[in-house]
Amino acid sequence: MPKPLTSLFNLGRSYSLWVYQWGLACCAIEMGAAFGSPRYDVMRLGVIPLPASPRQADLVVVSGTVTDKMAPAIRRLYEQMPEPKYVISMGSCANCGGPYWDSYSVTKGVDQIIPVDVYVPGCPPRPEALLEGIVLLQQRIKNEDMGARSSSAVVRLSDTSITETPALPGDGLRERIVQRLRDELGDGFVESLVKPGDDVWVRVHPEAWRAAGLALRDALGCESFSFLSAIDWMPSPYGRGEDDPTAPLPERDTEIKQGYTGGSTRMQVFARVTNVVEHFGVTVKADVPDDAPAIDSWTTVYAGANWHEREAHEMFGIEFNGHPDLRNMYLPTEFEGHPLRKDFPLLARMVKPWPGIVDVEPLPGEAQEEAQEEAQQEAQEEGQSNG
């Protein structure tokens, strides 16, 4: 097609986008505000958000968490759209799984099943961010060669059959990520695990924890912080919740196994960050000492780590050196213990035979108040006897 005609067609297509909206979770609220509110007036950009079906749509906006159960339906709807067609992925969950990345049922980004043209980061993004994504897509369409565009190269859905499948080829991208981190951290790099086409795990020395965050952010472009937490790998000394509480505790394996990339301590800190441009994520973890669990804070690297570290401090008792405000978020100030440690005697985890004896956990400070009252009563009785 002659270039002048291509430019004319591209200009017309960029300002007549019929948008099919896939609102899957929270981000759909912001998408609805962008497309349905007169405050933003999306039609002034040449965007029509009211197609009757996928067959009348040029653009689809995927907003929210994509689950493995939804994935086939999303793929089927996408295939019903005529060419040329475009996809905007809106929000952390649609981009990479977001805070639900670890869930067994969540697809790690909608681009695992359909090609994505523009990623809009945020949790959730504001309507203005979605409008900017549309403008970026329009700029891309204006410079597009229609003949070169193809949507056929789509990643297949994962196979859940139990038949043997050939081994996956090497993953050059994630292997380069590991090598770059190894170069940046030197002796601070301990171990890694690459799952081709899926994920990469890295373990670093505790002293290199903050340096690892800086390397991920600055050297690898992982500017999207997903989460930070801790794991207590010790098997529970109280058995499992489904065990019969009237029977002796069954024999259990007391060996501590630290999962991917191993470890040498009972507790570990781990975090997940993502490069939303090249679409890859890295899970990094480090051991924390058993006697005095402490590690450097990431708050100066990723501001979003602030409350994640507060939660890990509150629930696991891990100190984050350099954190500006390690106050409790959920528990009373005087609460003793850390509920997510395996050795914390949380009575609610134990199933008691009915009617049984009702165990009541004292409120924080209650035992101390009772002791003071008993001491005062004894003092009064002693004073009366002396008088």
Name the token pair of 342: 């395996």
Cα–Cα dist 106/71, whole Å = 9
186: left (phi over 0), alpha (psi -120 to 50) or beta: left
Residue with tokens 């170069």, as numbered in its chain: 183
pLDDT of residue 357: 45
List all residues 6 or more positions away from 92 whose beta carbon is below 8 Å from its beta carbon: 98, 99, 121, 122, 123, 224, 226, 274
Q: Which domains occur in the chain, in start order?
A: 3-148 (3.40.50.12280), 173-321 (3.30.460.80)
pLDDT tens, residue order, the chain (387 aa): 566 777 887 888 888 888 888 888 888 888 888 888 888 888 888 888 877 788 888 899 999 999 888 888 888 899 888 888 899 999 999 988 888 887 878 888 898 889 999 999 888 888 898 899 999 998 888 887 765 555 443 433 333 333 443 434 456 888 999 999 999 999 999 999 998 878 899 999 999 999 999 999 999 999 989 899 999 998 877 666 555 656 666 676 677 888 889 899 999 999 999 988 888 899 999 999 999 999 999 999 999 999 999 999 999 999 999 999 999 888 887 888 898 998 887 665 555 554 444 445 555 566 677 778 888 888 888 777 766
DSSP labels, 198-215: TEEEEEE-GGGHHHHHHI
Q: How many residues does the chain have?
A: 387
pLDDT of residue 355: 47
pLDDT of residue 151: 46
pLDDT of residue 241: 58
**Bridge partners of residue 18, in order along the sequence:** 48
Cα–Cα dist 33/39, whole Å = 8
Q: Which residues of 346-375 are buried (b: 16+ CB within 10 A; e: fewer)?
A: eeeeeeeeeeeeeeeeeeeeeeeeeeeeee
Q: Are 284 and 204 in contact (CB under 8 A)?
A: yes
List all residues 6 or more positions away from 317 whose beta carbon is below 8 Å from its beta carbon: 293, 338, 341
CA-closest candidate to residue 35, choices 24, 45, 49, 46: 49
Cα–Cα dist 78/72, whole Å = 10
Q: Tell the burial category of 119 from Cβ atoms under 10 Å away from its Cβ (0-12, 13-18, 19+).
A: buried
Amino acid sitting at position 135? V
Cα–Cα dist 35/132, whole Å = 13
Q: Give tens-digit pLDDT for 1-47.
A: 566 777 887 888 888 888 888 888 888 888 888 888 888 888 888 88
The number of CA neighbours under 13 Å toward the Cβ of 5 is 4
Q: Dihedral of CA 13/17/18/19: which sign?
A: positive
Cα–Cα dist 115/88, whole Å = 9
Cα–Cα dist 305/212, whole Å = 14
In degrees and rounded to multiples of 5, residue 295 shows phi and psi of -160, 160
DSSP code at position 61: E
Q: Tell the burial category of 73 from Cβ atoms under 10 Å away from its Cβ (0-12, 13-18, 19+).
A: exposed
pLDDT of residue 26: 87
Tell me how crowded residue 179 is: count the other CB atoms within 10 A of its CB: 12
**Bridge partners of residue 274, in order along the sequence:** 224, 281
Cα–Cα dist 247/381, whole Å = 45
Q: Which residues of 78-113 are buried (b: 16+ CB within 10 A; e: fewer)?
A: beebeeebbbbbbbbbbbbbbebbeeeebbbbbbbb
Residue with tokens 């950009």, as numbered in its chain: 45
Interior CA angle at 332 toward 330 and 333, to 5°?
115
Cα–Cα dist 254/242, whole Å = 18
DSSP code at position 38: T
